[in-house]
Amino acid sequence: MSDTMPQDQQDQQDQQHQQDRQKLESFDPATGDVVGVHAVDDAASVEAAVARARASAAWWAGIGFDARAEVLGQWRAVLTRRMAQLADVVHAETGKPHADAQLEIGLAIDHLAWIGAKAEKVLGRHRVSPGLLLANHSASVEYLPLGVVGVIGPWNYPVFTPMGSIAYALGAGNTVVFKPSELTPGVGVWLADSLREVVPGQHLLQTVIGWGETGTALCRADIDKLAFTGSTATGKKVMATCAENLTPVVIEAGGKDALIVDEDADLDAAAEAAAWGAFSNAGQTCIGVERVYVHEKVADDFIGRLSERARAVHAGVDAEAKLGPMTMSSQLEVVRSHVDDAIARGGRAVVGGPESVDDRFAQPVVLVDVPEDSLAVTEETFGPTVVVNRVGCMDEAVEKANAGKYGLGGAVFSGRRGAEIARQLRSGMTSVNAVIAFAAVPSLPFGGVGDSGFGRIHGADGLKEFTYAKAVTRQRMKPVLNLTTFERTEEQDTLFATMLTALHGRASQIGKRPLRERVAAVREKRRG
Ligand code: NDP
């Protein structure tokens, strides 16, 4: 306390300070203007939100698939009717063009429709064969909701990305507590409010606001699973915190996706896809194209076509700008350092260069012939830059694409060998002759390997991710051979051994073929 200030004035100032600390402002990254002010949730209010979610979880799980589909359908209709309004909030907090905001909202709506239509088919109880040994039983499996799911999301696609967890967790019968990025709290609040309008009396989706501490509090709260999307470094922290209570996690982390261009590829299509994949959303896309490996026979031609497209787009706030500002200003320094490092190591910038990065915007940069150990090749840049390196053959392209620590998505452009090359890429998802197409197919799982994380959102796998499998057997008639009794006789044991020998004791015809021949046959089949 200062010597001169009266106590009540000091108290007032402390109280004001406390109130100030408990507010989180979101900004328009193009101008720095404040676009929203939100009260921060501390550990106690996160726990209270989780308790409310818990109270609604039994109701939501109990109403069944049809009623849940009805609710999700109504929510989908609200999102669709108010798409422009939500896109305004996304635009204000991320700076991305309104049309791009609409695109990500549209994709999330399409996923919601799939969930409503398919959840029961994927998760509902179904019979399975009990097998010969337990032929006197019936057997069934169903996938039951976990309870309350915590979702922590990033800012780059503040609707589409977290909805990959939120909508699938809800569709599987869980309630959700969502912590949006500190940069996009308004989007999170808008989403939760819109679902509350459809189901006013229940806490199906709540938003908790704050920085990393709020996320940590959500990890420590009484949740049944945590779905995290964000950087690999934060993913590790989230996993460590969740481990304290053995809370399971899904980690959707960063990427360094490669696009491969074969000598017989449609070069215009490949250049268009590379430009969109690398520069759209100002390069702030986890499944964006950050590297291209192009066959040396067509490399110059491809680089020319890509450069033309790179020069045709720019970042800004004018009506012609196809790219917005960098949402998180600290990323600008990362982008600049990767470009500097690539050039210092002998790479060439054929479009843009270090001067393309200012204090709010980054313009497209095309780097060629960049050493494979450069930061621009090994680390996630998350800006509108792309590295194009030449390869002598597709095996070399695959080897280089697979060399990094990430394994999220990727793309292949090839006339004849697209599917074959795609299957060799060590990543969760690959598009052939297109870019990021897999994200827009609701029935396909989305997720990565290695430093890109584990677990899946989207599709049947994404629904199952937020459930536990419940297996039930029912004895229908007395067994011919009762194996689970202490009254089992020696004769019965002999009969059991005879049955097993008959079932599993003889090698099948294919089993008799030498291993070498079988491997060769599988390879041949894959090539075909
Ligand atoms: P961050 O890892 O910085 O943050 C992600 C979220 O975690 C934010 O809500 C953040 O809150 C929160 N958080 C931060 N610290 C903690 C903590 N200690 N405990 C719990 N939560 C915490 O990622 P960005 O928001 O910068 O997003 C960009 C990253 O996301 C990129 O690496 C990108 O590749 C990846 N990403 C991955 C996707 C995928 O599906 N695989 C999709 C989209 C993006 P706060 O913002 O308040 O710090």
In the chain, what are the domain boundaries?
Answer: 49-253+461-469, 257-441
The pLDDT of residue 13: 57
Give the integer Cα–Cα distance in Å for 105 and 463. Answer: 20
Confidence of residue 94 (pLDDT cuts 50, 70, 90): very high
SS3 142: strand
Structure tokens at 461: 């796998």
pLDDT exceeds 60 at position 77: yes
Question: How many helices, marked H, and strands, marked E, lie in the chain?
Answer: 19, 20
Give the integer Cα–Cα distance in Å for 379 and 198. Answer: 43
What angle is formed at CA 161 by the lines to CA 160 and CA 163, rounded to 5 degrees?
65
- The answer to whether 504 and 162 have CB atoms below 8 angstroms apart is no
Give the integer Cα–Cα distance in Å for 75 and 56. Answer: 17
Whether residue 524 lies in the annotated active site: no
Mutate to test the pocket of ligand 1, among 234, 239, 280, 444 (most ligand atoms within 8 A of CB): 234
Give the integer Cα–Cα distance in Å for 62 and 75. Answer: 19
- Give CA 281 to chain center in angstroms: 16
SS3 349: strand
SS3 449: strand
Confidence of residue 506 (pLDDT cuts 50, 70, 90): confident
pLDDT exceeds 70 at position 3: no
The pLDDT of residue 298: 98
Confidence of residue 492 (pLDDT cuts 50, 70, 90): very high
Percent of the chain with pLDDT over 90: 89
Residue whose CA is at the smallest distance from ligand 1 atom 35: 230
**486 Cα: distance to centroid of ligand 1 (angstroms):** 56
**Atom number of ligand 1 nearest to Cα 286:** 34
- Read off the pTM: 0.92
Residue whose CA is at the smallest distance from ligand 1 atom 19: 216
How does strand 225-229 pair with strand 148-152?
parallel
Contacts of 467 (CB under 8 A, 6+ apart): 123, 143, 144, 145, 146, 172, 173
Do the domains 257-441 and 49-253+461-469 match in fold? no
257-441 belongs to CATH 3.40.309.10: yes
- The answer to whether 284 and 156 have CB atoms below 8 angstroms apart is yes
**230 Cα: distance to centroid of ligand 1 (angstroms):** 3
**152 Cα: distance to centroid of ligand 1 (angstroms):** 7
3-state SS string for 208-261: CCCCHHHHHHHHHCCCCEEEEECCHHHHHHHHHHHHCCCCCEEEECCCCEEEEE
What is the number of residues in the chain? 528
State the DSSP code for 153. -
Using alpha carbons, list the distances in angstroms from residue 64 to 52, 181, 400, 440: 20, 32, 48, 27
pLDDT exceeds 70 at position 7: no
Reading across the β-sheet that carries 385-391, which strands appear in turn? 348-351, 365-368, 385-391, 289-295, 257-261, 411-413, 431-432
pLDDT exceeds 90 at position 359: yes
Give the integer Cα–Cα distance in Å for 370 and 387. Answer: 7
Mean pLDDT within 496-501: 92
SS3 313: coil
pLDDT exceeds 90 at position 2: no
Please provide the average confidence, as pLDDT, over all residues in the chain: 94
Tell me: the pLDDT tens digits for 266-310? Answer: 999 999 999 999 999 999 999 999 999 999 999 999 999 999 999
Which residues lie across from 149 on neighbouring strands? 176, 225
Residues with CB under 6 A from ligand 1: 152-157, 161, 179, 181-183, 211-212, 215-216, 219, 229-231, 234, 237-238, 252-255, 286, 328, 380, 382, 408, 448, 452
Give the integer Cα–Cα distance in Å for 248 and 266. Answer: 44
Mean pLDDT within 197-216: 97
Which residues lie across from 351 on neighbouring strands? 366
Q: Which residue is associated with the tokens 């939760």?
A: 192
SS3 393: coil
The pLDDT of residue 4: 46
pLDDT exceeds 90 at position 353: yes
pLDDT exceeds 60 at position 1: no
State the DSSP code for 408. S
**154 Cα: distance to centroid of ligand 1 (angstroms):** 4
Mean pLDDT within 367-376: 98
Lowest-confidence segment of 75-84, 135-144, 515-524 by average pLDDT:
515-524
Tell me: the pLDDT tens digits for 442-463? Answer: 999 999 999 999 999 999 999 9
The pLDDT of residue 10: 57
- The answer to whether 260 and 417 have CB atoms below 8 angstroms apart is no
**Atom number of ligand 1 nearest to Cα 219:** 20
Candidates 468, 486, 440; CA nearest to 110 is 440
The pLDDT of residue 17: 46
Whether residue 182 lies in the annotated active site: no
Q: Which helix (H) or strand (E) holds 28?
A: none
The pLDDT of residue 5: 57
Q: Is 123 left (phi over 0), alpha (psi -120 to 50) or beta?
A: alpha
Give the integer Cα–Cα distance in Å for 324 and 336. Answer: 17
CB atoms closer than 10 angstroms to residue 17 = 10
Confidence of residue 11 (pLDDT cuts 50, 70, 90): low
The angle, 0 to 180 degrees and rounded to 10, between the axes of the packed helices 160-171 and 64-81 is 160
Mean pLDDT within 28-42: 95
| Second CATH level (architecture) for the domain 49-253+461-469 | 3-Layer(aba) Sandwich (3.40)
Q: Which helix (H) or strand (E) holds 16?
A: helix 7-21
Confidence of residue 385 (pLDDT cuts 50, 70, 90): very high
Catalytic residue, chosen from 104, 182, 252, 465, is: 252
Candidates 279, 367, 381, 277; CA nearest to 323 is 279
pLDDT exceeds 60 at position 21: no
**Atom number of ligand 1 nearest to Cα 183:** 46
Q: Is 64 left (phi over 0), alpha (psi -120 to 50) or beta?
A: left
What angle is formed at CA 361 by the lines to CA 359 and CA 365, rounded to 5 degrees?
115
The pLDDT of residue 351: 98
SS3 290: strand
Quick one: 385 exposed, middle or buried, by C-beta within 10 A (0-12, 13-18, 19+)?
buried
Q: Which helix (H) or strand (E) holds 119?
A: helix 98-123
Residue whose CA is at the smallest distance from ligand 1 atom 12: 212
Beta strands in 409-524 (DSSP E): 411-413, 431-432, 449-450, 453-454, 467-475
Confidence of residue 524 (pLDDT cuts 50, 70, 90): confident
Measured between its terminal Cα atoms, the distance across the chain in Å is 80
Longest dimension (CA), the chain: 98
